[in-house]
Structures are given as C-alpha cells and as structure tokens.
Amino acid sequence: MSGVWFFKNNGVIRLVENPAAESNGGGSRRKVLVHLPSGQVVSSYSSLEQILIELGWERYYGGDPDLFQFHKPSSIDLISLPSEFSKFNSVYMYDIVIKNPNIFHVRDM
C-alpha cells in the first residue's frame, strides 16, 4: 500500500492513496497556459497563434488535417495541437512551454 496516512484526533486512521486528488474534491485541477510577458491566459487558438507568430513560429499545413500545427524554421520543432480548442490539455501546454522557454507557463486554474 502506498499513499498518505491521516490520523484524526478521535483515533481514526485513514489511508489516502492520492492526496492531491482528495484535497480538491476528487477531480483533477484544470490547467491553463499563461503567456508570461503579458500575464494573459491563452483562451483560444487565435490568441495562441498570434503569440506564436510573434515568436517566429509559422503555421504548418503539411501534416495531419485534423491537427493545428506550427513549425519554427530555425529549428526542427513542430507543435501539434488538436483541432478543437476544447481538447487542448496540459500535455499540449507543456509541449509549448518546453519549446518556448521563459515565454509560457502552465498553472492550475
């Protein structure tokens, strides 16, 4: 068994296997991508596209038509995102953060 043991004043002991999930009601926290220079949360692909273009990224149309993709000509990096912003999750956010150091940050909502 792994997890965290909680001891209460009345002598009851309880094992919580995932204390982070327990502390926020059992669900996972929603993540947001923050553009650090402006402090703004990226809330749409149009705002993300504008920022990425300013950083030297270009839209890439040579791949899967179901993906929203960006390529940086000065590197081999490719950012691939789901075509629907509602499916944009922390995995994609961290990919953007890694490929754009000190520009973006992922935070809990």
Per-residue pLDDT of the chain (109 residues; tens, 9 = 90+): 566 777 777 777 777 776 555 555 545 678 999 999 999 999 999 999 999 999 999 999 988 888 999 999 999 999 999 999 999 999 999 999 999 999 999 999 8
Report pTM: 0.72
Question: Is residue 7 assigned to a domain?
Answer: no
Of 41, 59, 57, 38, which Cα lies nearest the Cα of 100? 57
Question: Is residue 24 assigned to a domain?
Answer: no
Question: Is residue 95 assigned to a domain?
Answer: yes
Question: Is residue 1 assigned to a domain?
Answer: no
Buried b vs exposed e over 34-71: b needs ≥16 C-beta within 10 Å? bbeeeeeebeebeebbebbeeeebeeeeeeeeeebbbb
Structural tokens at position 98:
């890694």
Q: Could you tell me if 102 and 29 are in contact, meaning their C-beta atoms sit under 8 angstroms apart?
A: no
- DSSP assignment of 65-101: TTEEEEE-TTSS-EEEEESSGGG--HHHHHHHHHHST
Domain that holds residue 68: 29-108
